[in-house]
Structure 1
């Protein structure tokens, strides 16, 4: 290929590209659970634009192509809610998901004073669960049933103590 993947803040003009990539990436999850009505596949462009305006959204680009994305917000208690980590299927299993997640964690800690990172994935999503655990996330609480076929597993990890020690 000869190009390297860069990670940067998503721009409003990226919304359609992110939504198309999200639709592509969540097909395998929908198939795994036999449910094509999961939220990432039903999210509207307006809802995504709202997330772009309110949260922290990063994209991974290969040239001009958006090949990955992740989103996060931080609540008043310092809990960063991370979601919709996606990587184009042809680039999966090369560390890009981990790079996106680390970049978002850094950004949320530095700019929004995140103290703990929290994310969720489906109970059968073994590849996701394995990656999150490898990156230091641990399951908190029991899996939460969403439907007859899907339960969500919530995982957390603390932010680096040095990042928020000065504000304590």
Structure 2
């Protein structure tokens, strides 16, 4: 391709492109669970813009194209929640998800003083679970979202990540 992928803060002008990428990336999750009404597939532009205004949204760009995205927000004092990590299918498996995850952790720590990170992923989403475990997350329980069981995971800020070259 000849271009490198850069990670930066998202702006309001990125909203529609992020949602299109999110819709593309979460199709496989919907298929895995047999539920095409999962939140990432039904989120509106207005809901996303509200999220953008109150949290930390990062994008990965290849030239002008957004090829990855992740979100973070402070949910309680010292704890950040990370969600909607997605990487364009053609770029998956090259470490971009790990880079986005590390970038949102760093941003939440620097901007909001977050010392602990929390995220959830589907219990059947083996690729996601591998990434999060390699990145230092540990399972702490489960949550339910409609009929889907989600694996809840946490990581303390500064915890070692094993995904240095993933």
TM bin, normalised by shorter chain, reads over 0.9
For residues 11 and 42 of structure 1, what CA distance do their matches in structure 2 show?
21
Q: Pick which of 74-83 and 41-50 moved more.
A: 74-83
Instruction: Find the counterpart in structure 1 of residue 149 from structure 2.
Output: 151
Structure 2 match to 1:164? none
| CA offset digits 1:11-59 (Å, max 9, x no partner) | 1100000000000000000000000000000000000111111100000
Cα distance in 2 between the residues matched to 1:158 and 1:133: 13
Q: Deviations for 1:114-157, whole angstroms, at most 9, x for unmatched residues?
A: 0100100001000000110010000012x223334x10111000
| Counterpart for residue 30 of structure 2 | 30
Kindly name which structure, 1 or 2, has the bigger radius of gyration based on alpha carbons: 1
Deviations 1:46-87 (A, max 9, x none): 001111111000000000000000000113421100000000
Higher strand proportion, which one? Answer: 2
TM-score for both structures, normalised by structure 1:
0.92
Shift of 1:102: 0.3
Q: Which residue of 2 aligns with 1:166?
A: none
Distance 2:3 2:144 in 1: 42
**TM-score, with length taken from structure 2:** 0.93
**117-126 or 69-78, which moves further after superposition?**
69-78
Q: Which residue of 1 aligns with 2:106?
A: 106
Structure 2, unmatched stretches of 5+, are: 160-166
Q: Which residue of 1 aligns with 2:41?
A: 41
After the TM superposition, list the runs of 4 or more consecutive aligned residues in structure 1 that deviate by more than 4 angstroms.
none
**Root mean square deviation of aligned Cα:** 1.0
Unaligned runs of 5+ in 1: 162-168
